[in-house]
Copies of this chain bind each other. A is one copy, B any other.
Amino acid sequence: MTPDLDRFAINQITTRDWTLPEAVEGYARAGVKGIGVWTEYADAAGGKAAARQIRDAGLFVPCLCTSAWVNLAEPAAFAAALDENRRRIDLAAMLGARSLVVVPGGLAIGERDLRAARARVEDALGALLPHARAAGVALGLEPLHPMYAADRSCLSTFAQCLDLCERLGEGSGIVADVYHCWWDPLFEDGLRRAGADRILTFHLCDWLVPTRDVYQDRGMVGDGVIDIARYRAVLDEIGYDGPFEIEIFSKLDWWLRDGRETVQIAVERCAPFVAKRLAGAEV
């Protein structure tokens, strides 16, 4: 049976060694319908060329990864980071991306005040919001695993991001990733509280036991312990009809393989979770 991949995207970091044109071609050939784009690859291809390649291949773009870090205490550096983020919002719009994934960094160098860091991120997002609204690109707040709170993102829980979205209002939403949230006793509550409209894209990945590297040992769907079917059921319950997007950082395994193999296995593993409607689900 041909898998229903209409809602399925691959985030291009999953095939790290492929250029953007290679990823577009490789995903489309496998029947995947979307590509999560990273700024570095789009810049390398040229934004306009990247947009055209993606459009010509008929792929949708659930998100552009990621915002530039704003964990900078020094005002001029902070202002420069905002400018770079405005550029990335424009790039997202050019690519037809629904959202820019916000990964704002953790603490500033030498800083221990996590509250100040979080307040700074909120200030930055507030400052970026008018530009994002005008561009029609949502700021996608992604709760990142707490093990990244110091150095990648001080947005650590679903509830924290949702509270922040509620304060920011229109033009903000949530990028949910099972890898980052699966442990959270409040994750399912968060999905329900968010509702379908606030969830911009939903990332698939798996948690390996053991996890051999803090940063880049994320697992292929099915190789770990995350109960993805459960979260899919919650998403169906709340009427989510947006994208599913596999995203894997794996310097110890998948990044070492040929991209075609990674794509093929990603499709096989994700197919049971990403169909427009799941077999047995109520219509």
Contacts and interface: CB of A to CB of B under 8 A. Distances in A.
Interface string A230-269: 1000000000000000000000000000000000000000
A56 interface: no
Contacts of A149: 182-183
A118 interface: yes
B156 A185 contact: yes
Contacts of A160: 185
A207 B145 contact: no
A112 interface: yes
Nearest to A113: B227
* Contact-size category for A: 20 to 34
Contact of A185 (B118, B207, B211): B118
A211 B147 contact: yes
A225 interface: yes
Total copies of the chain: 2
Chain A interface SS verdict (over half): loop
A237 B192 CA distance: 36
A218 to B, nearest CB: 12
Interface in A101-127: 106-107, 111-114, 118
Given A145-B147, A225-B112, A185 B214 contact: no
A1 B147 CA distance: 37
Contacts of A214: 147, 210-214
A160 to B, nearest CB: 5
Interface of A: 106-107, 111-114, 118, 145-147, 149-151, 156-157, 159-160, 182-185, 207, 209-215, 224-227, 230
22 contacts: A107-B209, A107-B225, A112-B226, A113-B227, A113-B230, A118-B185, A145-B147, A146-B146, A146-B183, A147-B183, A147-B214, A149-B182, A150-B183, A150-B224, A150-B225, A151-B210, A156-B183, A156-B184, A156-B185, A211-B214, A212-B214, A214-B214
